[in-house]
Structure 1
Amino acid sequence: MKPGQMKARRRSKEGRWAWRLTGFVTLCVYIFMFAPIVATVILSFNASMFGGFPMTGVSLRWYAKLLTNEPVLAAFQTSMWIALVTAIATTAIGVVTAFALVRFEFPGKQTLSTLVILPALVPETILGVGLLVLIKAVDQPRTLLLLVLGHILLAVPYVVLVAQARMVGIRRVYEEAALSLGA
C-alpha cells in the first residue's frame, strides 16, 4: 500500500470517529434538554400529590383541577388575547416595514433598519427590565396595553427579518403584473 493511500485511510477512520463522537455528544445534549420535560409530562399523570418514581397510579385528576381553576383559566385567556393582538399588530407593522426597507430608497433607511432590528439583539430579560424601569420613571401605570406594546416591540424584528428575506427573492416583475391585474 502506498503512503498516500495509508494517510487517506487514516483520515477516513478519523473522520468516521469524529462524526460518531459528534453524534454521541448531540444525543447527550438532546437527552439532557428533553429528559426533564418528558419526566414532567409522565409525572403529571401520577395519582400521588407529590411527583416521584415509582408512580402510585395513573390519574387525570390534576388536569381536571387545572381546568376548574379560575385564576389559571383567566391567565390563559389573557395570554391568548395578548398573543392574538400581538400577532396581528406585528404582522401588519412588520410586513409594511419590510416592504419599505426592501423596495424604497429614503434618507435614514439604514438607521430605521438598525432601530427595527435592535430589540432582537438585546436579551429579552434586559429589554423587559429596561421597559419596566422606563415605565416607572415616567410614572405610567402598568396596563394591558403596555404589556401588548412590549410584546409587539419584541416580535416586530423577527417579522421584519423574515418578511425582508422573502421580499428580496420576489422580483419587481411579479409586483408589476399583480398591479396590472388590480392588486
Structure 2
Amino acid sequence: MLTPTVVNRFIDAVDCCPWGASTGRRGRPGGTAARRPALYTPEERQRRDASPWTLVQGVLAPFQFAVFLLSLALVLRYLATGEGLAIATASVVVKTLVLYTIMVTGSIWEREVFGRWLFAPSFYWEDVFSMLVLALHTAYLGVVWLGIGDAPAQMLLALAAYAAYVVNAAQFVLKLRAARLEGGSSRVRRAVGPGLAA
C-alpha cells in the first residue's frame, strides 16, 4: 500500500537533488543529514599534501587549460576561415601530448595517495571519463597520422575530444572544490570539537 511514509521513504532513497530545502524539504528522515564519504582519509590527505606530484598536477592542470584555449581558438579559426590548418593541427597534437603528460603524472599521484594507479574510489568517475578523453584525443592523432577523413572532419573530431575534456575538467574542478570544503570543515571540527561543528 502506498502510504505517505512508504512514498517518502522511496523519494528519500532516490532523491539526489542538492536543492531539497528550496522545494520544502528540511532534511533526511529521522533528522540525520546525508553524508558523503570523505574524499580523503586523514592518511591519504597527509600523503597528498606531502607528494611532489600534487604540485606537478597543480601546475600542469592550468597549463593544459591554457593550451586547450589556444588550440580551441586555432581550430575554430580554421573551421570558420579554412586558414591555418597546419598550426591548428600542431596545436591539437601539443594539447594531446600535454594531456598524456598530465594523465601519466596523475596516475603516479593517484598511486602515491591512494595506493592504486587509476580508478581510486574517490576519483573513479573522473578517471572513467578521462579514458574517453584519452580515446578521443588518441583517435584524432590516429586519423591525422593515417590520413583518414578530410581536414574539417578531423577538426570536428578534435572538437569532440575538447568537449569531453571540458566535461572532465569540470569534474575535477568540482572534486577540488569538494576537497577544499571538506578540508575546511575538518579543520573547523578539530578547532571547535566534534559536537559543535556538526
Q: Do both share a fold (TM > 0.5)?
A: no
Query: TM-score, length-normalised on structure 1?
Result: 0.28
Query: TM-score, length-normalised on structure 2?
Result: 0.26
Larger RCO of the pair (alpha carbons < 8 Å, separation 6+): 1
